C-alpha cells in the first residue's frame, strides 16, 4: 500500500501528514507494508525543506518532519494506491490533473467523524495553527490506518 499526501505547497500539511503516518506505520509494525510520501499541487516551494513551524510542531511530538518539497507528477497517479488531499481545493486540483474522478483520490478528513472536510492551511497563521493542524492530522491518520489495515494498533 502506497499513500501520497498532497497539499498546496508541500511544506506544511502534507509533509506533516507524511511524518505522522510514517510514525504510526512504524509503531504498528507495518512500515514495510505501507509506504508514505508527500507532494504539493503548486510549484512555489519545489526543493525547499518543510516550514520551520511544521518541523517544530512535529519535534514537540517526537516526530521528524523532513523531506524536500516536490510537485505532484503524472506518474504519481500510477504509483500510489491512495492519494490523500488535505483540503477540497487540493482534491479538486488532483481530480483535474488526473483528468477524471478516481476512488483513489481522497480527502484526509473523510477519515474521521466530523462534517468539516478541510485540514486548514496554517501557512499564513501563527505557530498555534501548526499545533492544531498536527493534532487534526494525527486523529485522521489513525482512522486512515484503521481503514487500510483493520485491527492494527499503532
Ligand atoms: P501547505 O501550506 O500547502 O500546507 O504546504 C502552504 C504553503 C505555502 C503557501 C500556501 C500554503 N503559499 O501560498 O506559499
Quick: pLDDT tens for 15-42. Answer: 999 999 999 999 999 999 999 999 999 9
pLDDT for position 142: 97
43: Cβ contacts below 8 Å, ≥ 6 apart: 71
* Active-site annotation holder among 23, 76, 93, 121: 121
For residue 17, what pLDDT is reported?
A: 98
Query: CA dist 110 to 73, 87, 105, 118, 124, Å?
Result: 24, 10, 11, 9, 24
Host domain of residue 53: 2-148
Active-site residue flag, 7: yes
Domain assignment present for 66: yes
Q: Domain containing 92 — which CATH number?
A: 3.40.50.2300
Taking alpha carbons only, the member of 69, 64, 37, 63 closest to residue 50 is 69
* Domain assignment present for 26: yes
The total domain count for the chain is 1
Query: Lowest-confidence range among 2-6, 8-12, 53-57, 112-116?
Result: 112-116
pLDDT given at position 97: 97
User: Is there a domain that residue 19 lies in?
Assistant: yes
- What's the pLDDT tens digit per position in 108-126? 999 988 889 999 999 998 8
Report, as an integer, the average pLDDT of 121-147. Answer: 95
- What is the SS3 assignment for 106? strand
The residue whose CA has the least distance to atom 12 of ligand 1 is 9
Amino acid at each position: 500500500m502506497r499513500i501520497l499526501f498532497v497539499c498546496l505547497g508541500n511544506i506544511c500539511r502534507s509533509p506533516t501528514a507524511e511524518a505522522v503516518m510514517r510514525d504510526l506505520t512504524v509503531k504498528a509494525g507495518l512500515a514495510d507494508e505501507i509506504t508514505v510520501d508527500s507532494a504539493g499541487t503548486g510549484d512555489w516551494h519545489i526543493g525547499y525543506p518543510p516550514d520551520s513551524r511544521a518541523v517544530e510542531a512535529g519535534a514537540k511530538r517526537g516526530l521528524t518532519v523532513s523531506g524536500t518539497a516536490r510537485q505532484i507528477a503524472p506518474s504519481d497517479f500510477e504509483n500510489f494506491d491512495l492519494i490523500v488531499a488535505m483540503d477540497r481545493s487540493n482534491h479538486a486540483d488532483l481530480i483535474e490533473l488526473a483528468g477524471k474522478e478516481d476512488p483513489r483520490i481522497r480527502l484526509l478528513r473523510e477519515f474521521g467523524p466530523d462534517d468539516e472536510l478541510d485540514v486548514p492551511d496554517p501557512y499564513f497563521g501563527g505557530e498555534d495553527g501548526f499545533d492544531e493542524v498536527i493534532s487534526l492530522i494525527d486523529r485522521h491518520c489513525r482512522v486512515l490506518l484503521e481503514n487500510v489495515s483493520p485491527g492494527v494498533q499503532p
